[in-house]
A and B are shown apart, each in its own frame.
Chain A
Amino acid sequence: MIKGMEKAINELKVLLLAGLVVLFTQFINLKGEMDIAKSLIGMVMIIVIAMASLAIKSLIPLKIPAFAWASLLALLITTPWSPMAEFFINSTKQITAGQIGTVILAVAGVSIGTKLGDIKKLSWKIILVAFVVFIGTFLGSAVVAQIVLKMRGLI
């Protein structure tokens, strides 16, 4: 139990630091025209959701990643029937997915830093295969979605 608490506190510290970096990145993206107080509140709410999703993941023994829980919680909070929806959407308006993405890819960049050697050892074949796999999954899904959307007259 104490171990779990300690883990949660450490995760919270990382989320707070990451939240600050995301807000900074957003500030630069908006060239300083940002409602800082509002976005701080928005970020705190996002971090609460993130912590809740970690808790759900450890409580429910299904193999569903915390990422999915976080999306689902935020989705529920922002549906038109939720009393929190307007406040939540309004305060997270200036925190955009693209800029969170910038920070995530920066982290991803650092994290592969000690593995460049391993990656060079993989032959060129796996790179080609992986690209074919990526194209296959993307176009496969897109074609099925296209057919179904068309059949239902939605596009």
Chain B
Amino acid sequence: MKEKTEMTNAYKATAVLSTDGRWPVFIKLFILLGIVSGIGELIGTISIPLGPGKIIILPMIFAMILAVAVTPDALGKKIAAFENICSEKEVELSESVIMLVLLILGAKLGTSAGPNIMKLIEAGPALVLQEFGNLGTMLIGLPFAMLLGMRREAVGATVSICREPTLGLISEIYGINSPEGIGVMGTYMVGNLFGTVFFGLLASFAVMTGIHPYALAMACGMGSGSMMTAASQSLAASVPTMADEILAYAATSNIMTNVTGLYMELFIALPVANFLYKVFIKLRKST
């Protein structure tokens, strides 16, 4: 059964990317992307002083807001003309395109890490150990979610920041329609929607905590290419004198999370989450 869905998914992905008679969809989508990205860059980077720090809004945030605005569910619903520019076909294509565009970013990020390789090797132990910091997710998140009344959903929602590998892992173990699966899906969706904006703001605020920008840069590599970019770019914009090192640390930490993240979740995060769940559920019953 599962094999069958996988096969149809793979088939679908190939069909979506096929250009047979679909060139208009491709052209429309990529022109649209060019226009919203261009407008984003024309608006430029806005920095708003706030207390001792500043909030930095990058062109990418404007581009994203514009892109959401022209989709069928937003303005397309109200103004028919938008439906002609961006229909469900373009949306469907964009879902397959994103993973490929991320590869361009992946390659570029590697080039900021390569020349700094000696610095990275020096920082090696910190890079490896900070992976365990990702467990902070559930130590704070799980009790919080359970206080809000979630049950097994909480395990899925807080096991990690729930990017694609987690989605795959949890749906393999529990099934995507299980409570755990719905929890993962929830955090995943929130991440898709607000993740970049949230991490962008968080990274520029975090400078005020007094934690060294290098340490913050490592924290930016949490396994999502787009969130890492938003976070490290706004961190680099907040501390421009260290911009190169920040991008290098963030990119390498992201590689580390990509390589180790899945195994970390399977062998450490998930067992710990299940253990904590049992402890908290007892506490809840006894009170």
List 6 additional A-B contacts (Cβ < 8 Å) besides A50-B100, A97-B229: A14-B96, A15-B103, A54-B103, A101-B226, A130-B190, A139-B219
Asked if B268 CB lies within 8 Å of chain A CBs, one says no
Known: A68-B106, A129-B150. A75 touches B113 (CB 8 A): yes
Q: Restricting to B227-280, which residues have a CB under 8 Å from any CB of A? A: 229-233, 247, 251-255, 258-259, 262
CB contact under 8 A between A65 and B33, given known A29-B41, A70-B110, A117-B73: no
Please indicate the chain A residues that have their CB under 8 angstroms from the CB of B60 in the complex. Answer: 98, 101-102, 104-106
Count residues of B near A (Cβ-Cβ below 8 Å).
Answer: 135
Given contacts A73-B110, A102-B63, contact A111 B100 (CB under 8 A): no
In the complex, are the beta carbons of B107 and A6 less than 8 A apart? no
* CB within 8 Å for A67 and B225 given contacts A21-B37, A80-B117: yes
What residue in chain A is nearest B250 (Cβ atoms)?
A: A97
Chain A: minimal CB distance from B253 (Å)? 8
Contact B137 A98 (CB under 8 A): no
Q: Which residue of A lies closest to B128 (CB)?
A: A148
Residues of A within 8 A of B194 (CB): 127, 130-131
Contact of B212 among A65, A68, A69, A146 (CB under 8 A): A146
Q: Check if A79 sits within 8 Å of B36, measured CB to CB.
A: no
Chief secondary structure at chain B's binding surface = helix
Judged by a CB distance under 8 angstroms, whether B86 is at the interface is yes
Task: Give the contacting residue for B114; candidates A79, A105, A106, A131; CB below 8 A.
Answer: A79
Nearest CB in chain B to that of A93: its residue? B111
Contact A73 B198 (CB under 8 A): no
**Is residue B105 within 8 Å, beta carbon to beta carbon, of the partner chain?**
yes
**How far is it, in angstroms, between the C-alpha of A136 and the C-alpha of B273 when the chains are bound?**
14
A68/B198 in contact, CB under 8 A: no
- Across the interface, which residues of B come within 8 angstroms of A80, CB to CB? 115, 117-118
Complex-state Cα separation, A117 to B211, whole angstroms? 39
Q: Which residues of B contact A143 (CB under 8 A)?
A: 133, 136, 211, 215
Residue of A nearest to B210 (CB): A146
A60-78 contact mask (Cβ, 8 Å, vs B): 1 or 0: 0001111111111111111
Q: A7-B14, A76-B114, A129-B187 are contacts. A110–B107 as well, Cβ < 8 Å?
A: no
Residues of chain A within 8 A (CB-CB) of B108 are 46, 74, 92, 95-97, 100
B148 contacts partner chain A, Cβ-Cβ < 8 Å: yes
Task: Kindly report which residue of chain A lies nearest to residue B126, judged by CB atoms.
Answer: A148
In-complex Cβ contact of B98 among A24, A78, A108, A130 (8 A): A108
The chain B residue with its CB closest to the CB of A74 is: B110
The chain B residue with its CB closest to the CB of A122 is B186
On chain A, the residues within 8 Å of B192 by CB distance are 108, 112
Q: Which residues of chain B have C-beta atoms less than 8 A from A6's C-beta?
A: 14, 18
A94 to chain B, nearest CB (A): 11
Q: Is B34 an interface residue (CB 8 A)?
A: yes
CB contact between B19 and one of A13, A54, A105 (< 8 Å): that residue: A13
Q: A6-B14, A24-B34, A110-B90 are in contact. Are A125 and B148 (CB under 8 A)?
A: yes
Determine if A118 is an interface residue (Cβ-Cβ < 8 Å). Answer: yes
Q: List 12 A-B contacts (CB under 8 A).
A: A10-B19, A49-B110, A64-B262, A65-B164, A65-B165, A78-B111, A100-B105, A105-B64, A116-B68, A122-B190, A129-B158, A136-B137
